[in-house]
Amino acid sequence: MTPKVVLVTGVSRFLGGHLAARFAANPDVERVLGVDTEPPPRDLLRRMGRAEFVRADIRNPLISKVIATANVDTVVHASVTANPAGPTGRTAMKEMNVIGTMQLLAACQKSPKVRKLVVKSTSAVYGSSSRDPAVFTEDMSPKDLPSSGYAKDAVEVEGYVRGFGRRRPDVNVTTLRFTNFIGPRIDTVLTRYFALPVVPTVLGYDARVQLLHSEDALAVLERATLHDLPGVFNVGGDGVLLLSQAIRRAGRLNLPVPSAAVPTVGGFFRSARLVDFSPDQMRFLNWGRVVDTTLLKEDFGFTPRWTTQQAFDDYVSGRGLKPLIDPETVAAAERGILDAAARFR
Amino acid sequence: MAGARVIPLHDPERDAARRARHVEVVPEPEQQQSPAADWERRLADLLSFARRRIAGDYEVDEFGFDRDLTENVLMPPLKPLYEKWFRVETIGMSNVPAAGGALIVANHSGTLPLDALMTSYGIASEHPAQRHMRMLGADLVFRTPVLGALARKSGQTLACNPDAERLLSSGELVGVWPEGFKGIGKPFKDRYKLQRFGRGGFVAAALKTGTPIIPCSIVGAEEIYPMIGDIKALARLFGFPYFPVTPFFPLLGPLGAIPLPSKWYIEFGEPIRTDVFGDGAADDPMLVFNLTDQVRETIQQTLYRLLTQRRNVFLG
């Protein structure tokens, strides 16, 4: 069933905005509503074409009126985010994530027209610890429930979504647990992290990182909206990069920081407005996280076009990250040494 | 001559494979002419390895196994320990399949898990398919900085059923030491007495995936650090499961960390098939207990047999 009227939350951010643009370009979709607290950047707004922007706060019951009057039949909740807007943004982010979701779900429950709900969740709900299995499947629950930050928000959001699904069994609910996004255009904590000239890591740990290209993320969200595919799905690219390996592929230098000094260094990067890592993301840098995507491929019917490694390389070349050690220099040095060895013989 | 076939004298692929396997045994004529070529080739290998590491140009699987690093950096230092120090002799290597999932279950001993390292080096170097054994480790290993990262890179993963089943069903050779710390940290007087085999989780994993269980008995590892005492207070302080006292440790300090050069035997027994029990066998606790006992008995009996054949701890 192709949706008639789609409401997308979080359109002033990359995923929500580009998703609204994709629906606007789809002639089968009659009307596209984009909701956010602040207007999208100008280039994103231009892309969104005929999509209508509604400046509304989903924490406000007003959203209920929007859904009812516009006869919205499909809601894409893409505004749950891990990226705080500023140094003081964490409390606001939590409110936006959790209270916003509650309000939005309450509004959806009220409106009999709503037929479908797509929620952008995160694989952070599995937590990250040394006692976890190497690969998470959808039916696993975290050993240590995330106690703070984005991961906890996401766990709570998913809880409310499950509750909504019980109360409105007629609505198709798709929950997508995304791994970290990467790509030349998207801006996340991780893309800023890898762009640092010297990348701090935790001494003695090397996380396994699974990434998803932002274009694949858009395609998955689009597919979930245009088709009826209820359920919970892990979404991530194939393959794994080690954190140290990713840093080398980006041509950065790795700066291992002893665990005891990690909060101090993290605080420095936060106050310098470089990267804002929350404690649960710090844990992610220790152990990493890999999810199983069999359900995504077989039941959901989507295979990501980029593997983790390809997506990361696309990010590196797309951002024009200049490696500190030029691979040409390395190759030249290798040739030089071999030539010298040949002469020595 | 309708049925005549062209039989190539030199199959390039097979020749290359044979060359790779018998580098020392059948030296190439050109190598004899110029002994410099060998170190030059090694230098080229080393440089290309360094270039791959600098560029991050290598593959890591979902468990974090870094084959490039394992084969080039982590495995080679084990060679002298395996060949010269412990003079390991393997028996029944043909019981380890060349392909497909299989679960190797072994006895654990020696205060430090050198038995695990030697078994995995033995299979990687002496098995015709040179397989990498993927071991299941305690969560203490993965919690520890440096060690945890190294364990993942060398192919180890946490001992839990989802990981074991995932590895087995993707056709990997999995190694498990079900005695855990009870086995490796037992006092010297209890040597070669198998401890309790956990809860039989490994048997359930093998049953679920229908992969064979290969009992593996290791003789020699008990004598490398004879543990005559355990300082509980220090163990608690450091968060270790035990703090060993051997005749030389902590008395001689770091010197006490040198293992005694016992002679080792590693015997791989007949595979025990698990695909004959049908679906749902993993949910039958009685079957799981019985199989666990069978594996345990097999290893214990093999240990006794190997011990009676051994004349001297150090000379074999």
**How many residues appear in chain B?**
316
Is the Cα dihedral A330, A335, A336, A341 positive or negative? positive
CB contact under 8 A, A205 and B149: yes
Mean pLDDT of chain A: 90
Residues of B in contact with A130 (CB under 8 A): 139, 142-143, 148, 158
Q: Is residue A145 predicted with pLDDT exceeding 80? A: no
Residues of B in contact with A133 (CB under 8 A): 158, 160, 162-163, 166
Q: Is residue A248 predicted with pLDDT exceeding 50? A: yes
**How many residues appear in chain A?**
345
Query: For B184-226, how does the pLDDT look when each residue is reduced to its tens digit (9 = 90+)?
Result: 999 999 999 999 998 889 999 999 999 999 999 999 999 999 9
Q: Is residue A320 predicted with pLDDT exceeding 70? A: yes
Peptide bond into B27 cis (omega under 30): no
For chain B, give the longest Cα–Cα distance.
85
- The pLDDT of residue B36: 65
In CATH, the architecture of B67-224+259-309 is 3-Layer(aba) Sandwich (3.40)
| Residue B268 amino acid letter | F
- The pLDDT of residue B106: 97
- The pLDDT of residue B1: 44
Q: Is residue A98 predicted with pLDDT exceeding 50? A: yes
Q: At how many degrees (to 10) do helices A279-287 and A149-167 cross?
A: 100
- The pLDDT of residue A58: 85
CA pair distance B283, B288, nearest whole angstrom: 8
Please tell me the distance in Å from A75's CA to the nearest CA on chain B.
34
Share of chain A above pLDDT 70, in %: 98
Give domain limits for chain B: 67-224+259-309
Rounded to the nearest 5 degrees, what angle is found at the Cα of B257, between the Cα atoms of B252 and B260?
A: 100
Contact between B205 and B136 under an 8 Å Cβ cutoff? The reply is: no
ipTM: 0.90
CA pair distance B241, A256, nearest whole angstrom: 28
CA pair distance A86, A92, nearest whole angstrom: 10
Share of chain A above pLDDT 90, in %: 64
Cβ count within 10 A of residue A51:
25
Contact between B65 and B130 under an 8 Å Cβ cutoff? The reply is: no
Q: At how many degrees (to 10) do helices A14-24 and A214-226 cross?
A: 50
Q: Enter the pTM of the model.
A: 0.88
Please tell me the distance in Å from B54's CA to the nearest CA on chain A.
6
- The pLDDT of residue A281: 77
Contact between A164 and B176 under an 8 Å Cβ cutoff? The reply is: no
Q: Nearest Cβ partner of A330 from B36, B51, B142?
A: B51
Picking from A54, A138, A152, the residue whose alpha carbon sits closest to that of residue A101 is A152
- The pLDDT of residue A82: 77
**Residue segments in chain B with a per-residue pLDDT below the cut of 70:** 1-36
Residues of A in contact with B153 (CB under 8 A): 206, 242
| Residue B171 amino acid letter | G
Tokens found for residue A18 = 């580009």
